[in-house]
Amino acid sequence: MSALRGALLWAGYAAAFSPVLLDLARHLIESPWARYSAIFPLLFAVCALREPRPEARQPGGALLIALGLAAALLAAFTGMLRYGRVGAALAAIGVCRRFALASPRSQALLLFAVPLPDALMRRFDPQVASFLLELAAGAAGLAGLTFAVDGTDVGFGDQVLSLERPDSGIALMPLLAGLAWYAGCRLRRPPWRAAATACGAALLALPVQAVAIGLALLCLSLGEATLARHALTHAPWIAIAAAVIAATEMRARRGLRA
């Protein structure tokens, strides 16, 4: 497919799904915890450009495009554009399959571009965040730091930090699973192994979040409540994504040179 045809194809996709994509962009601006999803279209592009291109288009592309458009139209008519995000991802995969743009493994990365629904996090709020806070405060107590914990609120002297719904760490699960799947694509691991690694990686979300809360408590003890909030809102997903992507690319390049 020529570069011009590819550009026109994706321009048509963007036009067709512009209401859903604009709503998604607004969501990412207003919800910092959901910004992790923005890295997966880029990781898809990286994998697609570095793998052999399929020799022929794959079946089911037109059906996925039709389903995606139907979902987007239904979401628009009901005024709930957020429900069209899955449709946008399915249609993007359909375009790739219809025009042989990437392997099915790489196409799956586009599903991780759909942020975790807030309703799923709400089911675990505030119990998980409170449990992790108690765990981190207890570990800090062993180091001689005593925090006043009340549910999801924690204080140290005159500094107070309130945990929010995304601080439960549930949103890290799709990030970790998606990064593990991306690593499987780049390192050309067997699909079953990549899937097993992705499932195992998702289970690390709560321990990782506990460490992030511990770092936030350390910032709080230093009188930096604002820095503590940033340590919970931005640091975990950015640090994890940067570390995994860097390590994966280094291993992939070493494999190519070997």
Give the model confidence (pLDDT) of 66-79 as tens digits. Answer: 999 999 889 888 88
pLDDT at position 1 is: 52
Range of the domain at 34: 1-115
Q: What is the pLDDT of residue 4?
A: 66
Q: Do 251 and 141 have their domain in common?
A: yes
Domain boundary pick from 115, 147, 176: 115
pLDDT of residue 226: 87
Total structural domains within the chain: 2
Domain identity same for 4 and 104: yes
Which residues of the chain are under the pLDDT cut of 50? 257-258
Q: What pLDDT score was predicted for residue 66?
A: 92
Same domain? For 252 and 134 the reply is yes
Based on the fold, state whether residues 57 and 108 are members of the same structural domain: yes
Query: Would you state the pLDDT for residue 161?
Result: 87
How far is the CA of 149 from the CAs of 63, 128, 131, 156, 163, in angstroms? 52, 14, 11, 9, 11
Residues 120 and 107 both lie in one domain: no
Q: What is the pTM of this model?
A: 0.89
Q: What is the pLDDT of residue 90?
A: 94
How far, in Å, are 48, 165, 181 from residue 110 at the CA level?
A: 11, 25, 11
Rg (CA), the chain: 21
Q: Are residues 122 and 228 in the same domain?
A: yes
> Does 83 share its domain with 129?
no
Tell me: cis bond preceding 126? Omega within 30 of 0 counts: yes
* Cross-strand partners of 162: 153
Residues 229 and 128 in one domain: yes
For residues 103 and 122, state if they share a domain: no
Q: Are residues 98 and 2 in the same domain?
A: yes
Say if residue 55 is in the same domain as residue 101: yes
Residue 134: per-residue pLDDT: 86
Long-range pairs for 116-120: beta carbons < 8 A, 24 or more residues apart: 116/34, 116/170, 116/171, 116/173, 116/174, 117/82, 118/31, 118/165, 120/170
